[in-house]
Structure 1
Amino acid sequence: MKFSNFHLSYCSNIHPGESWEATFENLKHYIPEVRKNLDFEGPFGIGLRLSHEASLILEMPEELARFQTWLQEENAYVFTLNGFPYGDFHRTVVKDQVHFPDWTTPERKDYTIRSFKILAQLLPEGQDGGISTSPVSYRHWFKTQEAFDQGMEVATSHLMEVVTELSKIEAETGKLLHLDIEPEPDGILENSDEMVWLFTDWLLPKGAPELAKTLGISPKESEALIKRHIQVCYDVCHFAIVYEKPEETFEKFAKAGLKIGKVQISAALKLMLDQDRGILKDQLSEFAESTYLHQVVGRNTDGSLISYPDLLPALEKLEDAKEEEWRIHFHVPVFMKKYGEFESTNFLIEEVLKVLQSKPELSNHLEVETYTWEVLPPESRLPLAESISRELAWVISQLN
């Protein structure tokens, strides 16, 4: 949906199903219903979650043509893909495997390039398109500095292959496509400083010479291509968990010459620890489910942070925790300021949207991402179309 400078949608990773058949059926069912709920008649933007399995089918010309026909009939368009989860994402144990295969593998590179070729054919003329992706890998998989450095070298090379492909697509079609890397707690890239570090320590000094050699261009031209085709996916929940202030983060990226390809609108759980720890533990236990990682980051009174890899390990330390505040990677409905006995980081979504309205050049892709409806406490669940519509309606009200 187009609102002022922004393309707005919700991420279809909210729908279970890894196959293209399941993905397409969900779109056919929910897009018309959400449109009706919102009373929206214009072109309807879609944030498509395309698994590896689904991408192998959708790249087939006859299947792609069938989808394009449906998009035309529904007055809908695809402007962004979620390429972070490669495989199963619902009704199974995902946890750290959401990063697998990571950017050290050819499987991740090939899947991403395939997805870009699909997006290039779906994207309307005159519009840029992006694919969000893993923050390189899961940091706890690397046990030594040598293994880490080797992984970064391979990942950098794979990312240069993506840039090469995207520069060719733009030369042939005129369509600008960008890979939007999404920092996340316990990813190799967790915050804005590490996102900048990816460019200053790896992509520009090590990747640019490789790209220059491949394309037969100057190092300066290759650096410009890297910054054009590799951008940031700013997930509001993820940056909230590491206690970053939106305006400061946007300024840091701008100073480093980094662009924000997509803003994912999402909210985390927030709570102060000056309460009865036994009661807190009981209340939090219902969020400690087995499907997704729910990283916890605590903040001490001096501003220093302490990280826990998941909610259960954090709960084991709760009684003796010295932090004053916890923020938990649990995507809660974006319109909620309070969530049961807890707060949410909804206030940071409001801040982000205000910054974007005052500086619309920062990013024009907005995607609501609340994928945890199936694992929310039962009293918080609504029919899915109603849930999606309510979130989008809230964002629209903020934009208006």
Structure 2
Amino acid sequence: MADHAIDTRPLAQPVFRRLFIGQGTSFVGSMLTQVAVPVQVYRISHSSFYVGMVGFAGLLPLIVFGLYGGAIADAVDRRKLYLWSSLGTWAVTLALLAQTVLGVRSVGLILALVAVQSAGFAMASSARGAIVPRIVEPELIPAANTLNYVVGTVGEVIAPLIAGVLVTFPHGFAYAYGADAALFTAALYSTLRLPKLPPDRAAARLGLRSVREGLSFIGGRPVLVMSFFVDICAMMLAMPRSLFPAVADARFDGSVGLLYAAIPIGSVLAGFASGWIGRIRRQGVVLTGAVLVWGGAIGVSGLARQLWLVVLLLAVAGAADLVSAVLRQTLLQTYAPDEMRGRMQGVHTVVVAGGPRLGDLRAGTMSAALGPATAWAFGGFACLAIVALAAPLVRPFWTYEAPAPPRKTPAPAEVGA
């Protein structure tokens, strides 16, 4: 049992522990907003298409600021970049609260705020992902990524259930946005307590050339290309979240909270038994298998008519998603040198956060034409088929074995107190 329990050794390091607590607390608040926004848009417009547009509105800022933010993270102090971009996302949450309190009821304004928030999120994520390998030992990177993913998914479990109740109140959207703004202060505090994290002597220069260098680094390495490809398939084809409000209204008497919480519930349960993930060497094969389980579970859940069965299948998908997410992040952080990690995390942010946004658009558009059930099930089965056919064809990815990381104790300036 101990061999399979979640590895908590990174929490013994004070800097990582503060970052972990701050990120976890703020994530509960941010998930309240992520649930409240599409539900508010649906309440205003009664259209799954506009719910899908919530994801699409943030796509271009996510791509631009994810890629360029990654280049900035390789050229400046990562702590400062993380702090200022986090402050930007916090300001947008306050603006969402204001538009709700004032009763503006403008889908266009909400979409514009989502776009601005996506820009701040992209830059913060690029910096945060590049920070982790600087504050924990190399052999603890998979464990640190697992802990971060689990605390995030705990927030995804708690927040949708809370938001599902809050949005039924007369001023529920304001409560959700207000709670997000208050809880986010924990993340700001933990960021302020980070040590200085300047670039090393091989720091990149700001500019489009730096972005191109990062993309060229990925393009010349099939292992990285394929790891991004399978994630795009999973998120763009098999992410049904923009269909949750419509399906909940049609089948489950508006019980949308459980649908939003189901995937994170599965991830959390899998996370508590995740000690084995750090010992995986055939990362390409296991990553592919996890994505296949995700696609199959999503496809079958789209056909189910009972709420308990849909929740169960989404939870299975969530468990597979934890495995694939930890492996992707670990592979990226260990495959690239430190001077490239910001740009790698920028691309990772674009794929991980942009894929679901494209998935929202795909699902919303298909739902408008064919209905939510068809849009939901089709995406899952399409993901399953494409990944099953494509992954074994890329031999460097399929045969990739992660090297055992050398033990290294971070310098005192990086660990902090």
User: Which bin holds the TM-score, normalised by the shorter protein?
Assistant: under 0.3
Higher strand share: 1
TM-score scaled to structure 1, two decimals? 0.26
Higher helix share: 2
TM-score scaled to structure 2, two decimals? 0.25
